[in-house]
A and B are shown apart, each in its own frame.
Chain A
Amino acid sequence: MKASHIEVLRLEASRLPRRAGVGFKPEHFLAIDIEPQPVGFFEVHAENYMGAGGPPHAQLARLRADYALSIHGVGLSIGAMQPLDRTHLARLKALCERYQPESFSEHLAWSTHDTVFLNDLLPLPYTEETLAVVAAHVDEVQTALGREMLLENPATYLLFEESTIEETDFLADVARRTGCGLLLDVNNVFVAATNHHLDPWAYLARFPLDRVREIHLSGHSETVDDHGAPLLIDSHDTPVRDPVWSLYEEVIGRIGPVATLIEWDNDIPEWPVLRAEAEAANALLLDTVARQVA
């Protein structure tokens, strides 16, 4: 235990500015590059920057020069019950060394089984066994990268009968065992709570908010399941919905300003629409600061 404690102390901490950021989409590059933007940081999906060269790297290098950067992995499969892909971990390490991001984050989910990549963030049961595996994987990532990573809560559609641990407790335990930070996706909280007939406020009340280093906000779509019950899909294709803004205000009211990302990955709008979402989040962050001062 002592040795791993020392290890944790040596990790580079996540240090995104406590402002709103935006998930970078290449189609916005020219609009972003033409003038300074009211954006604290940009976030990119790590796997989109694993080619050797070309426009993706040229754009990222340009953004990196002017803004803080968050690298967000979507393919490491931390929740897989098999060893991490060391080749992929080495790619992430190289990317972090090249761009020196203020933060690296990944998901409480799996996406690779055997050698097949399933390209989705798949759910896992929450048990003592899966907790041990996830904590070991997070530990391995942090040791390899030499930095604190943030682990994100998932949007889920189904529950595992075999689960014995609450998701909030599971995340708290991983954070406690590994020293990792958490990325609180408030849209995922609302989506999962609605899908599982749970109270999102109760979920937040149990969430280890003291570990939160970044928040994600995004839109979702609505459908129904086989029984006519509401089924929300984490589709990232709309503005942030009102109930998600409300939950967000509650969180920052409790923990103070924290780096907040606007994610919009499908049906991507023009840049000003995204910028306005970021400005709305910035306004709420400022309110929080003002209230703290008052």
Chain B
Amino acid sequence: MAIITQASFATALRDETAPVPHGLAAWNGEPSPRRFAVYRNNVAASLRQALAERYPATERIVGAEFFAAMAGVYVAKHPPRSPVLLSYGTDFAEFLAGFEPVQELAYLPDVARLEAARGNAYHAADAAPLAAALLAEIDARYLEEAMLLPHPSLCVLRSPHPVVTIWEMNAGRADAQPIMEWRGEDVLVVRPRMTVEVHRLGAGGAAFFTTLVQGRPLGDAACAATAEADDFDLTAHLALMLASGAFTAIRL
């Protein structure tokens, strides 16, 4: 009588070409690949589904069928290492960057990065953002030295592609239309309360917020932004800094 180890069961589950472990049978004692296929399919399909739920715009761009095949390759190479699937597939963008069949869609990994950031923000710890009216109460002399504590959900992404525009068109937030001017877009993702917000950043904005996230003072952030873009709009970015709820505390 065959003893089936869970190691051999698991191997056969993950490899569709592997034979069904000997010693598993239907009620009549006959081997039944179709019965074993139920388990195989449950494992593969549920993990592909988990990725599709996390990366809906990416799926929309390549199509459901292509996405499922691509997700299948990812799942085989990078099976989850935790029963908590909320964070499964965080490195999907890196996989896409190296996945030969999508090399022509150079922007695809950045769309996936944006979706990953949104998912992370959705599940991040809750924290009350700074009051939007705070700026008016601070003596301008101290502002330059002020340091800010980023919201746990905050993420700044930079892309040489119009990543937000592409995402919006494939997330049902904007009508699909040809992109006339192919310009890079930087983005700030944050969930100040219960809704994940995506803000397109103006020139120098990514440098500004990235510097703040590093724990450096506002003055440094403004310098970094201006060094990158002479047309950096400090007033607009100070307003966004508070209105977006991207920070939870200020140290003067």
Contact = CB atoms under 8 A, between A and B. Distances in A.
Nearest to B127: A53
Interface in A167-185: none
A57 B127 CA distance: 13
B25 A158 contact: yes
Interface in B76-103: 79-87
B194 interface: yes
A86 interface: no
A116 B10 contact: yes
A111 interface: yes
A197 B26 CA distance: 9
B107 interface: no
Interface stretch (A11-19, A76-84, A255-263): A76-84
Given A158-B35, A162-B1, A52 B9 contact: no
B214 interface: no
Contacts of B10: 113-114, 116, 118
A265 B33 CA distance: 26
Interface string B1-14: 11111110110011
A159 B1 CA distance: 13
Nearest to A57: B126
B39 A122 contact: yes
Nearest to A120: B42
Main secondary structure of the interface of A (DSSP, over half): loop
Most buried by A among B5, B81, B86, B122: B86
B152 interface: yes
Interface in B4-49: 4-7, 9-10, 13-14, 23-28, 30, 32-36, 38-39, 42-43, 46-47
Interface stretch (A64-72, A224-232, A244-252, A274-282): A224-232
Interface in A214-246: 224-227, 229, 231, 233
A170 B161 CA distance: 59
A157 B10 CA distance: 16
Given A52-B152, A225-B35, A231-B35, A117 B83 contact: yes
Contacts of A162: 1-4, 23
A86 B35 CA distance: 32
B236 interface: no
A56 interface: yes
B11 to A, nearest CB: 9
B54 interface: no
Given A52-B125, A160-B4, A160-B24, A117 B194 contact: no
Nearest to A82: B6
Contacts of B42: 119-120
Given A54-B124, A76-B83, A112-B83, A119 B43 contact: yes
A91 B84 contact: yes
A89 B35 CA distance: 31
Interface stretch (A43-51, A145-153, A285-293): A43-51
B125 A53 contact: yes
B123 interface: yes
Interface residues of B, number: 49
A286 B54 CA distance: 42
A115 B81 contact: yes
Contacts of B34: 224-226, 231
Contacts of B122: 51, 54-55
Given A53-B124, A55-B194, A120-B46, A195 B83 contact: no
Given A225-B32, A231-B35, A54 B126 contact: yes
A77 B83 contact: yes
A97 interface: no
Contact of A157 (B23, B38, B123): B38
Nearest to B79: A116
B4 A58 contact: no
Given A52-B125, A56-B123, A229 B27 contact: yes
A85 B84 CA distance: 12
Given A120-B43, A197-B27, 11 more contacts: A52-B152, A54-B153, A54-B194, A75-B84, A76-B83, A113-B9, A157-B36, A162-B23, A225-B32, A225-B35, A227-B32
24 contacts: A50-B86, A51-B86, A52-B126, A54-B123, A54-B126, A57-B126, A58-B194, A75-B84, A82-B6, A85-B83, A113-B9, A117-B82, A157-B36, A158-B24, A158-B26, A158-B32, A161-B24, A161-B25, A162-B3, A198-B27, A225-B32, A225-B35, A231-B34, A233-B38
Interface of A: 47-48, 50-58, 74-77, 80-82, 85, 88, 91, 110-120, 122-125, 157-162, 195-198, 224-227, 229, 231, 233
When A and B form their complex, which 5 residue pairs have the shortest distance between CB atoms, in order from nearest? Answer: A75-B83, A51-B123, A53-B126, A113-B10, A52-B125
